[in-house]
């Protein structure tokens, strides 16, 4: 778990490449409302701390002295560089001319137009992010990115983190640690003097100091320093010392950036000056550990968000308000869908109403499985660690698994179904005629998430996926991919969710040879291209280096009603696991090949198709066996299947969270745990109410009745608040004519005066509405 934070440190040093980090190992603190500021126009916060330290911390002057000295040297060096004619090619194809070491991206933007100049956040020079005021060194390709570009947004928020860092130094005299951008803003992590904690009442003073920095339009100045100079500059700060020692190889240099009194270790780049930030706000704070490790110092994190336009801040706040109203944890409680208990953190208790949703989701997918030629299996939950060693999980994933001892051997709860499915495939001979095998399972999975990272249904320890492994022949990959894309469209379309696809390629810690990876990546690229060319303007993106360790993957991101994006589905192409488990199938030419195969490999083939895992290591600390030692040559006449891992919902738990917020608790009829409420006008028709309940229940609908002593108006109001899709109000007339008076939640005109429909007709229409899983509830 600590990896994510270590990663963040690495990336904070490395610049802003892909800096969204999860807040793992954070200790969430109760949200605190910043109290109203004191009326008097004071320069003090409620903590009694002055707005700014006076005198300022000594390290500010010390850092500046080193910076100014080296800066003068570097400027002299730049002045001596030869000025040569260079040409800069813009994304539009236009070419601009200038002198090397003089021409800056900002000058080019200003030459093109004032609005482009003002809008541009960062430049990209030959693919590398580049400060707008940094002179170009040679002829190059230049892109100008604005806030709407994901990289531009990261740079903007990363730059804003410096402003927050500056405010914190000026206000607290603290030791800063790291300040990366995150998904919806940025944070700065720091140690306050004497281990103090951030108070909500500090927000306003910090924002005030930040506003001063913004008003000053402090330029971000870049400077390269050697490791020795860095250690000297940050001698006062043990966290920066650690990062410099750990991340910067001896004999090398990296950059620092200065804005106002702050000088920070950072690869950059940044916006040209702090004045680009037009709206800045602190959102929350929490406690964390240095490097995410509970053995290290406890630190304070302050989160903020910023925009280049005040209007965007207002929109952002409105969106947060709307999101809070829809929070699945809140709706889950109100609608009695699920709860969590401290006796098993991260493992959900689904209540009867939540189970109705869960089961409806499951039967929808099962129904599609039936149509699409899938077959379901059920495999064990716990396995001997030998299995995980063979699959590679022990080496790459052990920290995320729950492990334990059984009869002196190491075991683990499964975090995924894949290795078990390999055992299913390999438990007998397979023929090419059987392929593709689409092996589905709704098995329970466990992953060892840190307790501090658990949040509602979105971050859990126990969950189930709509998991499938497709074992197919090489030549079936394209058609299986096409079928999967169609499956996605059907499923997401059914919920009114749109989706985008991203291909993630080979990561650094990959398993297997590069050639196999290239082959897999090429297959996926082809399938994506084909789908996108036929599916009416869909497109896909490349996400280099973010694949799983065993194969490239396609991540599918869905967007909900608030246009928030979530990654649910993945497709992973895997040439590795079938090798690790020696999976094979008889090819069409197998009989022929068998006749000529040498005696030795025939004997091997007769032993069975899957080599059993080696016995567990007696010493669990012993190094796992070399992955290659599990592998066996293919039996003559046989070929390896390709394994495609895929899930569409992802986990049921997280998908239910997403749907709860997407629908804001107003479930479509087919998913709804409260489909119909029947309210009698007077007790005399209670028998008719009971009869109706029976009729609709018989058709599999969730029907409640309210024959309590409350007034009719109150019953209807309660039913509306509970989000019943339909409320039937029945009196003598309805009983007499065997009709129901229907109020439809989604059609406001029916709220005051319902629609009179014969019972038989209503039954028919409701069955249709349910079976067709329609979103539009008009009947
Ligand atoms: Zn920076
Ligand atoms: Zn899998």
pLDDT in tens, 640-673: 999 999 999 999 999 999 999 999 999 999 999 9
Residues annotated as catalytic (active site), given as ranges = 418, 447, 465, 467, 469, 553, 645
In the predicted model, is pLDDT for residue 553 greater than 50?
yes
What would the mean pLDDT of 212-236 be, rounded to a whole number? 95
Give the number of the ligand closest to the Cα of residue 572.
2
CA of 437 to the centre of ligand 2 (A): 14
Q: 656 C-alpha vs ligand 2 centroid, how far in Å?
A: 21
Ligand with minimal distance to 154 CA: 1
Q: Per mean pLDDT, which range of 69-83, 483-497, 522-536, 681-695 is the poorest?
A: 522-536
- Tokens 């236009």 sit on residue: 94
Distance 619 CA to ligand 2 centre (A): 28
Distance 295 CA to ligand 1 centre (A): 27
In the reported structure, the alpha carbon of residue 396 is separated from the centroid of ligand 2 by a whole-number distance in angstroms of 15
Ligand 2: centre distance to CA 422 (Å):
10
Position 562 scores a pLDDT of: 86
Q: What is the mean pLDDT of residues 717-732?
A: 95
pLDDT at 178: 94
Tens digit of each residue's pLDDT (9 = 90 or more) over 408-422: 999 999 999 999 999
Ligand showing the shortest atom-to-Cα distance for residue 571: 2
Distances (CA, A) of 119 to 146, 150, 156: 6, 14, 11
pLDDT tier, 749 (very low <50, low <70, confident <90, very high otherwise): confident
Residue 723 contacts residue 665 (beta carbons within 8 Å): yes
Structure confidence at residue 622 (pLDDT) = 42
- Whole-angstrom Cα distance, residue 574 to residue 391? 12
Q: Coil, helix or strand for 289?
A: strand
Which is higher by pLDDT, 369 or 534?
Answer: 369
Q: What is the pTM (predicted TM-score) of this model?
A: 0.77
The yes-or-no verdict on residue 502 having pLDDT over 80 is yes
Taking the centre of ligand 2 as the mean of its atom positions, its distance from the CA of residue 417, in whole angstroms, is 6
Give the per-residue pLDDT at 46.
Answer: 59
Tell me the H-state helices in 38-149: 58-80, 105-112, 114-119
Lowest mean pLDDT among 167-176, 493-502, 736-745: 493-502
Ligand nearest to C-alpha 158: 1
Nearest CA among 108, 98, 156 for reference residue 129 = 156
The full DSSP string for 42-70 is: -SB-TTS-BSS-SSPPHHHHHHHHHHHHH
Q: How far is the CA of 256 from the centre of ligand 1 (A)?
A: 8
Q: Tell me, in angstroms, the distance from the centre of ligand 1 to residue 291's CA.
A: 18
pLDDT higher at 569 or 103: 103
Give the chain's mean pLDDT. Answer: 88
The 10s digit of each residue's pLDDT in 292-325 is 888 999 999 999 999 999 999 999 999 999 999 9
pLDDT at 25 over 60: no
Which 3 state secondary structure label does DSSP give 743? Answer: strand
Residue 375 has pLDDT above 80, yes or no: yes
Q: Looking at residues 728-750, what average pLDDT do you find?
A: 93
Quote the ligand 1 centre to 11 CA distance (angstroms).
10
* Cα 15 to middle of ligand 1, angstroms: 7
Sign of CA dihedral 358, 361, 367, 373: negative
The pLDDT assigned to 353 comes to 97
Please tell me the distance between residue 266's alpha carbon and the centre of ligand 1 in angstroms.
5
Q: What is the pLDDT of residue 626?
A: 56
Mean pLDDT along residues 280-287? 95
Residue 443 has a pLDDT of 94
Specify the higher pLDDT residue, 291 or 612.
Answer: 291
Residue 564: its pLDDT value, please?
87
Q: What percent of the chain has pLDDT over 70?
A: 88
CA dihedral 399, 400, 404, 410 (to 10 degrees): -60
Q: How far is the CA of 605 from the centre of ligand 2 (A)?
A: 26
Q: How many CB atoms lie within 10 A of CB 352?
A: 10
Cα separation values, 398 from 87, 389, 391, 529, 626, Å: 52, 10, 12, 36, 16
610 or 343, higher pLDDT: 343
pLDDT of residue 499: 87
pLDDT range class, residue 536, cuts 50, 70, 90 = low
Expressed in angstroms and rounded, the spacing between residue 711 Cα and the centre of ligand 1 is 63
For residue 679, is pLDDT > 80?
A: yes
Asked if pLDDT for residue 623 goes beyond 80, the answer is no
Tell me how far the alpha carbon of residue 158 lies from the centroid of ligand 1, in angstroms.
6
Radius of gyration for the chain, computed over Cα atoms and rounded to the nearest angstrom: 31
Cα(558) to ligand 2 centroid in Å equals 20
SS3 label, residue 2: helix
Task: Check whether 537 has a pLDDT greater than 70.
Answer: no
CA of 721 to the centre of ligand 1 (A): 48
Ligand of minimum distance to the alpha carbon of 414: 2
pLDDT of residue 629: 66
CA of 86 to the centre of ligand 1 (A): 28
CA–CA separation, 737 and 726 (whole Å): 20
Region 330-348: mean pLDDT is 96
Among all bound ligands, the one having the nearest atom to the CA of 164 is 1
Cα 440 to ligand 2 centre (Å): 10
Question: Which ligand ends up closest to the CA of 644?
Answer: 2
- In this model, does residue 72 exceed pLDDT 80? yes
Confidence of residue 630 (pLDDT cuts 50, 70, 90): confident
Distance 588 CA to ligand 2 centre (A): 27
DSSP-assigned states of every residue in 611-659: PPPPPPPSSTTSPPPPGGGG--PPPTTEEPPEEEEEEEEEEHHHHHHHH
What is the number of the ligand closest to the CA of 271? 1
643 alpha carbon, closest ligand: 2
Average pLDDT over residues 610-637: 57
Nearest ligand to the C-alpha atom of residue 646: 2
Instruction: Give pLDDT, residue 10.
Output: 52
State pLDDT tens for residues 563-616.
888 888 889 888 889 989 999 999 988 655 554 444 444 444 333 333 334 443
Across residues 742-767, what is the average pLDDT?
Answer: 90
pLDDT classification of 510: cutoffs 50, 70, 90 = confident
pLDDT, tens only, 228-279 = 999 999 999 999 999 999 999 999 999 999 999 999 999 989 999 999 999 9
H or E element at residue 262:
strand 262-265
Q: Which residues of 93-107 are buried (b: 16+ CB within 10 A; e: fewer)?
A: eeebebebbebbbbb
Ligand nearest to the CA of 266: 1
The stretch 40-59 carries a mean pLDDT of 74
Residues having C-beta closer than 5 Å to ion ligand 1:
266
Q: How confident is the model at residue 388 (pLDDT cuts 50, 70, 90)?
A: very high
CB 204 within 8 A of CB 34: yes
More confident of the two residues 475 and 706? 706
Residue 724: pLDDT over 50: yes
């Amino acid at each position: 778990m600590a990896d994510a934070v270590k990663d963040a440190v690495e990336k904070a040093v490395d610049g802003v490449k892909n800096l969204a980090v999860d807040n793992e190992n954070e200790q969430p603190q109760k949200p605190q409302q910043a109290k109203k500021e004191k009326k008097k126009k004071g320069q003090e916060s409620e903590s009694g701390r002055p707005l700014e330290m006076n005198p300022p911390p000594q390290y500010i002057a010390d850092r500046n002295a080193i910076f100014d000295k080296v800066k003068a040297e570097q400027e002299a060096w730049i002045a001596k560089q030869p000025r040569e004619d260079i040409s800069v090619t813009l994304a539009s194809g236009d070419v601009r001319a200038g002198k090397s070491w003089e021409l800056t991206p900002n000058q080019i933007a200003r030459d093109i137009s004032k609005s482009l100049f003002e809008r541009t956040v960062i430049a990209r020079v030959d693919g590398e992010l580049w400060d707008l005021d940094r002179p170009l060194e040679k002829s190059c390709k230049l892109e100008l990115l604005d806030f709407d570009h994901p990289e531009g947004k990261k740079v903007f928020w990363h730059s804003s983190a410096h402003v927050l860092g500056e405010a914190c130094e000026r206000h607290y005299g603290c030791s800063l640690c790291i300040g990366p951008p995150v998904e919806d803003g940025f944070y700065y992590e720091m140690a306050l003097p004497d281990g103090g904690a951030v108070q909500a009442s500090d927000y306003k003073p910090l924002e005030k100091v930040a506003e001063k920095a913004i008003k000053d339009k402090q330029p971000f100045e870049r400077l390269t320093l050697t490791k020795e100079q860095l250690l000297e500059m940050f001698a006062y700060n043990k966290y920066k010392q650690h990062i410099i020692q750990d991340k910067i190889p001896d004999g090398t240099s990296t950059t620092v950036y200065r804005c106002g009194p702050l000088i920070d270790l950072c690869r950059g780049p940044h916006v040209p000056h702090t004045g680009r930030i037009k709206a800045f706000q602190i959102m929350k704070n929490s406690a964390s550990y240095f490097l995410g490790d509970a053995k290290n110092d406890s630190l304070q994190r302050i989160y903020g968000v910023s925009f280049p336009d005040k209007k965007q801040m207002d929109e952002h706040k409105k969106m947060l308000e709307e999101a809070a109203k829809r929070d699945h944890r809140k709706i889950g409680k109100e609608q009695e869908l699920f709860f969590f208990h401290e006796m098993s953190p991260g493992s959900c208790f689904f209540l009867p109403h939540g189970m109705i949703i869960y089961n409806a989701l499951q039967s929808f997918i099962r129904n599609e499985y039936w149509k699409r030629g899938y077959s379901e299996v059920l495999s064990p939950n716990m396995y001997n660690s030998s299995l995980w060693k063979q699959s590679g999980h022990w080496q790459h994933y052990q920290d995320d698994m729950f492990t334990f001892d059984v009869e002196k051997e190491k075991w683990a709860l499964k975090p995924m179904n894949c290795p078990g499915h390999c055992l299913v495939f390999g438990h007998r001979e397979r023929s090419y005629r059987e392929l593709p095998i689409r092996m589905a399972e709704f098995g329970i999975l466990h992953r060892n998430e840190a307790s501090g990272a658990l949040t509602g249904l979105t971050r859990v320890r126990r969950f189930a996926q709509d998991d499938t492994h497709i074992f197919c022949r090489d030549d079936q990959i394209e058609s299986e991919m096409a079928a999967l894309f169609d499956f996605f469209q059907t499923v997401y379309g059914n919920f009114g969710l749109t989706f985008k696809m991203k291909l993630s390629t080979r990561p650094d810690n990959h398993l297997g040879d590069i050639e196999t990876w290239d082959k897999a990546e090429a297959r996926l690229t082809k399938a994506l291209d084909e789908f996108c060319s036929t599916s009416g303007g869909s497109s896909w993106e490349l996400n280099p280096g973010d694949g799983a360790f065993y194969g490239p993957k396609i991540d599918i991101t869905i967007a909900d009603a608030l246009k928030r994006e979530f990654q649910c589905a993945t497709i992973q192409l895997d040439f590795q696991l079938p090798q690790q488990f020696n999976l094979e199938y008889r090819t069409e030419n197998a009989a022929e090949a068998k006749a000529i195969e040498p005696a030795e490999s025939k004997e091997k083939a007769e032993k069975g198709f899957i080599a059993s895992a080696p016995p567990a290591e007696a010493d669990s600390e012993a190094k796992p066996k070399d992955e290659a030692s599990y592998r066996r040559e293919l039996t003559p006449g046989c070929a390896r299947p390709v394994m495609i891992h895929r899930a569409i919902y992802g986990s049921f738990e997280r998908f239910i969270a997403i749907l709860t917020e997407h629908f804001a608790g107003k479930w479509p009829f087919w998913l709804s745990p409260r489909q119909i409420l029947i309210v009698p006008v007077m007790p005399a028709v209670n028998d008719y109410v009971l009869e109706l309940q029976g009729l609709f229940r018989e058709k599999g609908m969730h029907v409640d009745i309210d024959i309590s002593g409350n007034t009719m108006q109150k019953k209807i109001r309660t039913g509306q608040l509970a989000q019943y899709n339909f409320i039937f109000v029945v009196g003598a007339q309805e009983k007499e004519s065997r009709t129901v008076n229907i109020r439809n939640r989604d059609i406001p005109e029916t709220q005051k005066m319902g629609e009179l429909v014969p019972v038989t007709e209503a039954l028919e229409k409701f069955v249709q509405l349910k079976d067709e899983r329609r979103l539009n509830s008009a009947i």
